[in-house]
Amino acid sequence: MRKLLKFLKPYTYAVILAPLLMLVEVICDLYQPNLLAKIVDQGILKNNFQVILNTGLIMLGIAMIGMIGGVGCTIFSSIASQNFGKDLRNELFKKVQKLSFHSIDKFKSSSLITRLTNDVTQLQTLVMMALRIMVRAPLLFIGGIIMAISLNKNLSFIFLLSIPVLIALFLFIMKRSFPLFSEVQKRIDYVNSVVRENLVGIRLVRAFRREDYERERFKYANTALMNAIIKALMLMIIAMPLFMLIMNFSILAVLWFGGLLVERGNMQVGEVMAYINYMGQILFSLMMIGNILIFISRASASASRVVEVLEEKIDIEDKEESDTRSIESGKVKFEHVYFSYFKDREPVLIDIDFEAEAGEIIGIIGTTGSGKSTLVNLIPRLYDATSGRILVDGRDVRDINLRVLRSAISMVPQDIILFSGTIKENICWGKEDATDEEVIEAAKIAQAHDFIIRLPNGYDTVIGERGVTLSGGQKQRIAIARALIKKPKILILDDATSAVDFVTEQKIIRGLKEIMKHCTTFLIAQRVSTMMNADKIIILDRGRIVGFGTHYELLEKNPIYQEIYRSQIDEEVVKHA
């Protein structure tokens, strides 16, 4: 938790004022039992109405001052805790955006969502409690003991016996509850994961009539969360009756021994009442401290999860003096590149060595899992090569400033992601200040303009989350327009036309050819007809380049390419038979 205190530093004024105002409230609360004793002993028992009136007015005034202190403490503790939560979430979000895909895969998206929401909320609540209850409870505890002893030293042995027992009880609960609350947070992760997967794949779930299965899966996750919470709270559930028992026995002891002292004339009735009030304040403050300790145990689990993300090493970042020269030609060269997702696993790419001249179209074809997407992901440094070098304009990509490198590259990935908003806003992701003319031009090249203008609001049509209101082919064409409007030096199309028909694909390729003259293009596709548009074709098999050349060269010499070509030609013959 200490590592997160820096997020409170900008709000030092609130962190200081909140406890000071709480101190005012506690002093007022501690003074009230004494005044009550005065009303009983000097007012009621002596039938002195003036003492009752004057002391009552003083009590009312002190109560008002205490209320102002309490309200002020709540206001400033809220300012500190809410701003702490806001800044922590911002920092976590910025860190997540910088994490490599490897780190994101390690944490899992559902867990990151929980850490940004539930875990931060737990810490935010802890800050609020720390500035209010964690100040109030110890002050009330210590102040109550002092005031009780000042009233009568002879009764002090009662809380000197009960308090150590209660402290030991709460320390035991805190120690045992930390791992249990860690498990609760993991169960929340799992519930989030199930919900997220179900919402994203709701159409698939219904298409396969798997609603019952998904309900059972969620029921299992939800029940597991409930059981984890019950198990974590069980210690507290058992401890609370014990605590109340000790507390009630202590008050009974005060009444018993206090009554004996009153009989002997060593204590007055009002003082016994005041002592009981102080005893109640002491034990109640101790109960608050115990509850806080239990909550600290839960918040500590959240803090460790949040710190884990904040301390995650960013393995893809700029060097201290990165090259900020802009990308001019887009020439790309792979020099004996190897890549593995994990150090102890077999490499996914093995000895990749080729060169793409500026303005060339490089087709990449191969079986599923051969490493096609992984290869192109290395160019914008979404991952870093395990060994070897990737050069852009003759410079190692690891030496080029990331912003400069990625601003020169446009990608259309396999899994098309569109964001909630209008079609125009989605296309303008590629260029924020794009004019309407640029948007329309990019859409026309991507063969998206015709279907967009037929929509109710044209380019201002709002699409659902992830573009669910559009077909797969429509989403791909918008994604291509988004990539083209950037006018990149390197264009990566990762199976970007798989969801469109052959005729539309050929129109897109023809439209792209003019743009492709000014950028180096990597074209991943499964159709040989698409590969025929490439200047050179890379054939990948199990992470290795097993063929490199033009369509006709490979068709003449490469058996793998020949087999792919024949299988697709045979399919076309069957279709048109």
**Can you give the CATH number for the domain in which 47 is found?**
1.20.1560.10
CA gap 531, 543 in Å, rounded:
19
CA gap 151, 82 in Å, rounded:
41
Maximum C-alpha span of the chain: 119
Asked if residue 13 belongs to a domain, the reply is yes
116 and 144 co-located in one domain = yes
SS3 string, 422-453, reads EHHHHHCCCCCCCCHHHHHHHHHHCCCHHHHH
253 and 355 co-located in one domain = no
CB atoms within 10 A of CB 453: 12
Asked if residue 461 belongs to a domain, the reply is no
Asked if residue 487 belongs to a domain, the reply is no
167 and 119 co-located in one domain = yes
- Contacts of range 60-69, beta carbons closer than 8 Å, 24 or more positions apart: 62/28, 62/31, 62/32, 62/35, 63/28, 63/32, 65/24, 65/28, 66/24, 66/25, 66/27, 66/28, 66/29, 67/25, 68/21, 68/24, 69/21, 69/22, 69/23, 69/24, 69/25, 69/28
pTM of the model: 0.70
Domain end position, chosen among 310, 345, 369: 310
177 and 133 co-located in one domain = yes
332 and 274 co-located in one domain = no
pLDDT of residue 577: 41
Tell me if 440 sits within 8 A of 449, measured CB to CB: yes
Residuewise pLDDT in 10s, the chain (577 residues) = 677 888 998 999 999 999 899 889 888 888 887 788 788 778 777 788 888 888 889 989 988 998 999 899 999 999 999 999 999 999 999 888 888 777 777 777 778 888 888 889 889 988 988 888 877 888 888 887 888 787 777 777 777 777 787 777 777 777 777 677 778 878 888 888 888 778 767 767 777 778 888 888 889 989 998 988 888 777 767 777 777 787 778 778 877 887 787 777 777 877 777 778 877 777 777 777 777 777 777 788 788 888 888 888 888 888 888 888 999 888 999 999 999 987 777 899 999 999 999 888 899 998 888 889 899 999 999 888 999 999 999 999 999 999 999 999 998 888 888 887 888 988 898 888 889 899 998 888 888 898 899 888 888 888 866 666 788 888 888 888 999 888 889 999 888 777 777 777 777 777 777 777 778 999 998 888 888 878 899 999 889 999 999 988 998 888 888 888 888 765 554 344 4
pLDDT of residue 474: 86
Domain end position, chosen among 258, 285, 310: 310
Alpha helices in 39-107 (DSSP H): 49-98, 101-107
pLDDT of residue 140: 80
Asked if residue 223 belongs to a domain, the reply is no
Residue 332's CATH number: 3.40.50.300
pLDDT of residue 574: 38
277 and 334 co-located in one domain = no
156 and 291 co-located in one domain = yes
pLDDT of residue 560: 87
Asked if residue 207 belongs to a domain, the reply is no
- Amino acid residing at 411: M
pLDDT of residue 570: 55
Asked if residue 428 belongs to a domain, the reply is no
pLDDT of residue 399: 92
CA gap 85, 8 in Å, rounded:
9
Domain end position, chosen among 277, 310, 343: 310
283 and 355 co-located in one domain = no
Asked if residue 225 belongs to a domain, the reply is no
CA gap 560, 538 in Å, rounded:
11
Domain that holds residue 9: 2-188+233-310
120 and 267 co-located in one domain = yes
Q: How many domains does the chain have?
A: 2
Residue with tokens 């909140």: 18
DSSP-derived secondary structure for 355-390: EE-TT-EEEEEE-TTSSHHHHHHTTTTSS--SEEEE
Asked if residue 252 belongs to a domain, the reply is yes
pLDDT of residue 536: 92
CA atoms within 13 A on the CB side of 194: 19
Q: Which two tokens stand for residue 56?
A: 């009552």
17 and 55 co-located in one domain = yes
362 and 394 co-located in one domain = yes
pLDDT of residue 576: 42
pLDDT of residue 468: 67
Residue 491 pairs with which residues in a beta bridge?
Answer: 410, 521
392 and 270 co-located in one domain = no
Angle in degrees, 0-180, between the axes of helices 133-151 and 12-38, rounded to the nearest 10: 30
